Amino acid sequence: MKKTIFPLITVYIVSHNYGRYLSEAVESVFRQSFDNWELIIINDGSSDNTDEIIGLYKDHPKVEVYDTEGIGLPAVNNLAIKKSKGKYIIRLDADDIFEENILLVLSTYMHNHEDAALVFPDYYLMDDNGIVFSQEKNQAPHSEDHLMDSPPNGACSLIKKDVLVELGGYREDLGAQDGLDIWLKMKDKYMTGKVSLPLFFYRRHGKNLTEQPLKIFNARRQIKKTTIQSSVKEIQPVLAIIPCRKNYDFVPDLWAAEIGGKSLLEMDIESCLSSTLISKVIVACDNLGAKKIVDKFNSDKVIFCEREERDTLRSSNIVNTLKKIINRFDPNYNGLSVLRYVQSPFVTTETIDEAISTILVSDSESSCAVKELTNRIYKKTSFGLTPLSSDPDTLISTDEIYMDSSVSVAFKNSNIKKGTLKGARIAGFVVSSAESFFISSKHDLMIAQEIFNLKEK
């Protein structure tokens, strides 16, 4: 029988078919320069050699072992919290490795900052064979990037156990994004910190949870929407505005072009109506033919506004149209609006909702759907090309460059009163390549039809 210990730190490792990496992870805990720890190893329904590897360490006096039946990471996290004895708790993923001083450095930070509930470090990126190829240097909370303050990932952050318990632990209905869930619960309530040292090795390979984009997108959206349920009630109305025009696109009345037997305008209205956050859907067009589509919905939630032809010119600022609409439907400029474009027919209701929730979560003035640019970006100068982003082939990576995908913008209506759409504080949220598809030519329209046909099969 093992002697009961009362460690300062509980480290836990979860393995689901990560047996090939597990020994490296476990032994990186054993090598720590700080020795006041316990290690919980959880085998979550593995069918590989995880059980055999755990057997090598189960008799160690500081190790406790548990078996679960594939219940998933958030549920396993909650089990670890329940079984832990430490004042602080930290997760090490089974395919990652601690630097030998991580527990010493992070626990020292927490000792010196008694009000802090969480601290996280920078980290190294390594490939499947353990070869380091980059260092990820993350922004400290509440320093420069206030809009998207977040820890690098859910693992390798040292957190006070009593805070995790108070917050109710991890949501088990998502299956992903446990780090974002805890962060949004914590960031405005507790002090958090960051150590600017790389203190663990993150293994990048095809099986990583963070490389399952659809699962991550959906979980992120659900977490944000849940977080803003109370605050959105205080910022009303929430309008969806769909501007259309008769001329000046590659075909007249582009809004009337059909995909799968429905007009682009009809598809967009349906997506907006499906949102539980939107109060009214406003269609603004200089062709009364668009009103016939609005009338088909027979809903007082969908309203047609006639748009002046001069406001549809390519050189005209869209703010002119928006101001007339918001003056009518939100004269006090208290609410939010989502600007939608019929040229992006594959944007989902979930993305529209995320545009709204991102503003409220980040306390920004606007939010826009973006795509991350992973290649190096340059600008031309008198000295030749000057890089605007970090070289992906160099050791240290600090810059993230994004491109507006032009598919969904949400903004505080008070911006329009100031004569600006996005304001000074802009938050971005990443959308999938499919949703970023934008129709700007007859060829694009043909491709959109083919994409729709493939989705229907």
Domain boundaries, the chain: 9-209, 231-456
Residue 148: per-residue pLDDT: 47
Are 438 and 344 in contact, with CB atoms under 8 Å apart? yes
10-residue stretch averages of pLDDT, the chain, 457 residues long: 79 95 97 97 96 96 95 91 96 95 97 94 89 75 48 78 93 71 82 92 72 65 83 93 96 96 96 96 97 96 96 94 96 96 94 92 90 76 73 52 84 94 90 87 94 79
- CA-to-CA distance for 320 and 318, rounded, in angstroms? 5
State which H helix or E strand residue 281 sits in: strand 280-285
Query: The pTM is what?
Result: 0.74
As a whole number of angstroms, the distance between CA 278 and CA 348 comes to: 14
**Where in 81-115 does DSSP place strands (E)?**
88-93, 97-98
The closest of 255, 207, 260 to 21, measured between CA atoms, is 207
What's at 17, amino acid-wise? N
In the numeric block, the tokens 């996290």 are attached to: 77
pLDDT recorded at residue 382: 76
Question: Would the CA dihedral through 197, 200, 206, 209 be positive or negative?
Answer: negative
Task: Provide the Cα torsion 227, 232, 234, 237; round to 10°.
Answer: 180
pLDDT confidence of residue 25 = 96
**Short-list 370, 373, 430, CA closest to 399:** 373
Among residues 435, 447, 279, the alpha carbon closest in space to that of 368 is found at 435
What integer pLDDT is reported at residue 221 of this predicted model? Answer: 79
> In whole angstroms, what is the distance from residue 349 CA to residue 176 CA?
20
Distance in angstroms (rounded) separating the CA atoms of residues 288 and 304: 9
Which residues fall within 8 angstroms of residue 343, CB to CB, at 6 or more apart?
254, 264, 438, 439, 440
Provide the pairing of β-strand 302-306 with 280-285. Answer: parallel
What's the DSSP call for residue 233? G
Asked if residue 123 lies in contact with residue 54, where contact means CB atoms within 8 angstroms, the answer is no
Structure token digits, residue 289: 């033919």
Q: What is the pLDDT of residues 404-430, one digit of tens each?
A: 887 889 999 999 999 999 998 998 888
Identical fold between 9-209 and 231-456: yes
Beta strands in 78-178 (DSSP E): 88-93, 97-98, 116-126, 132-136, 158-160
What pLDDT was estimated at residue 220? 77
Q: Residue 246 — φ and ψ, nearest 5°? A: -80, -40
SS3 content of the chain, % helix, strand, coil (to 5): 30, 25, 40
First to last CA, the chain: 59
pLDDT of residue 38: 97
Q: Which CATH class is domain 9-209?
A: alpha beta
Say how far apart CA 172 and CA 74 lie, in whole Å: 5
What 3-state DSSP class applies to 376?
coil
Please state the CATH superfamily assignment of the domain spanning residues 231-456 in this structure: Spore Coat Polysaccharide Biosynthesis Protein SpsA; Chain A (3.90.550.10)
Buried b (16+ CB within 10 A) or exposed e, 326-341: beebbeeeebbbbbbb
Whether the Cβ atoms of residue 37 and residue 9 lie closer than 8 Å to each other = yes
pLDDT confidence of residue 396: 45
